[in-house]
Structure 1
Amino acid sequence: MSALINFLIRLYWGIFGGLERLTSGWFLGLAARLVFASILLVFFWNSALTKIGAGFFGFLAPSTGAYAQMFPQLMEQVSYDTSQIAFFPYGLIVLLGTWGELVLPILVVVGLFTRAASLGMIVFICVMTYVDITGHGVDAKTIGAFFDGDPYSIISDDRLLWCFVLLVPMLKGPGVISVDALLGHFYRKGPRGV
């Protein structure tokens, strides 16, 4: 019996140890970034596009919708007239939030400044969640709760998974298939291979 148990243990470690060695350094970061791209990239980009003002330089002047999404109660107080809202801090927050929603997802997907971009996206999701709950007044069913057994609680369940997907590249890095790895290789080698 002990020979069988030893065989099963060696088989187990042989299979999963081999998988770990085979995927070490490239798989987790790449997989997390691909999952993020397939589930959240278009979501965040579509959301960001609703915040950009009109014209070529619209990214410099966020739309009224951007203010309404980020500061719904403040917008109600000023009858949706953004000219009554001070640039500092509100306009600056809206501008930086819009830029963050445009730039950070792309950085995560291509693997450039991946750890900082992933942390930025986690912070963005936390702020977005806070605004949805306090500013937009979503109902308790939509908010949900951890360990409630309801996978349809959009905010608590979905956003926890979003953050987990971003924790992987933040903590483990983007992997060798990334711009970060390419730049790191170039930096270590020197500009002329020195």
Structure 2
Amino acid sequence: MNAVVHSLQGVRSVARGLEWLAPVGDLAIRLWVANVFWRSGLTKIGSWDTTVLLFTHEYSVPLLPPETAALLAVVIELVFPVLLAFGLAGRFSALVLFLFNAAAVVSYPALADAGLRDHTVWGLMLLVPLLHGPGKLSLDALVARRWPAPSR
């Protein structure tokens, strides 16, 4: 019986250590997925003519002219990853990028299996800040500590 109690204490100790690391994990996820979208936005503005051609002939974005869709994509990919990386409006930023990621999959039917796997991983990574918030190492957490919400 003593060995079982000792084992349970060890498990609890490991769990406390993992809880301490959770904010670092939240930050790592935010930075990783933000970097993916940021680099994609930089690629789009780096070759604007090619980007517009892709939105004209490859990507099937409904209801928007190709130039507008390309501009919207660049704005989303350059603004929201920064917000997500800093954890400012973290849930909203994750939601925008999650929906953008889903739209990218739907609007590009020629996406290969490897590309679909990448988009799936990014979508799952975005679910972490979307469902749990950006974590303790975020501007959202700093703002909440500095200016707590009024009690009801």
Q: The TM-score by the shorter chain falls in which range? A: 0.7 to 0.9
Show the counterpart of 1:35.
Answer: 32
Which residue of 114, 134, 143 corresponds with 1:174? Answer: 134
CA distance in 1, matches of 2:58, 2:33: 31
Structure 1 residues 92-107: aligned runs within 5 Å: 92-107=68-83
Establish whether residue 5 from structure 1 lines up as the match of residue 4 from structure 2: yes
1:65-124 residue CA offsets vs partner (Å, 9 max, x unmatched): 33322231599xxxxxxxxxxxx7324433322211111111111111111111111111
CA distance in 2, matches of 1:74, 1:123: 16
Identity %: 21
How many pairs align?
147
Show the counterpart of 2:101.
Answer: 125
Establish whether residue 72 from structure 1 lines up as the match of residue 57 from structure 2: yes
Q: Give unpaired runs (5+ residues) of structure 1.
A: 52-62, 76-87, 145-153
When residues 98 and 74 of structure 1 are mapped into structure 2, their CA distance, relative to the original with a 3 A threshold, is closer
Return 165-174 or 66-75, whichever deviates more: 66-75
Counterpart code for 2:45: L
Q: Give unpaired runs (5+ residues) of structure 2.
A: none
**Which has the greater radius of gyration?**
1
CA RMSD of aligned residues (A): 2.9
CA contact (8 A) 1:66 1:98 kept: no
CA distance in 1, matches of 2:119, 2:59: 25
Structure 1 residues 14-33: aligned runs within 5 Å: 14-15=13-14, 17-23=15-21, 26-33=23-30
When residues 123 and 131 of structure 1 are mapped into structure 2, their CA distance, relative to the original with a 3 A threshold, is same
CA contact (8 A) 1:48 1:101 kept: no
Identify, as 1 or 2, the structure richer in helix. Answer: 2
Deviation at 1:167, TM superposition (A): 1.3
Deviation at 1:28, TM superposition (A): 3.5
CA distance in 2, matches of 1:49, 1:178: 28
The 4+ residue runs of structure 1 with deviation greater than 4 A are none
1:143-180 residue CA offsets vs partner (Å, 9 max, x unmatched): 22xxxxxxxxx222211111122111111111222222
Deviation at 1:9, TM superposition (A): 2.8
CA contact (8 A) 2:59 2:108 kept: no
When residues 94 and 41 of structure 1 are mapped into structure 2, their CA distance, relative to the original with a 3 A threshold, is closer
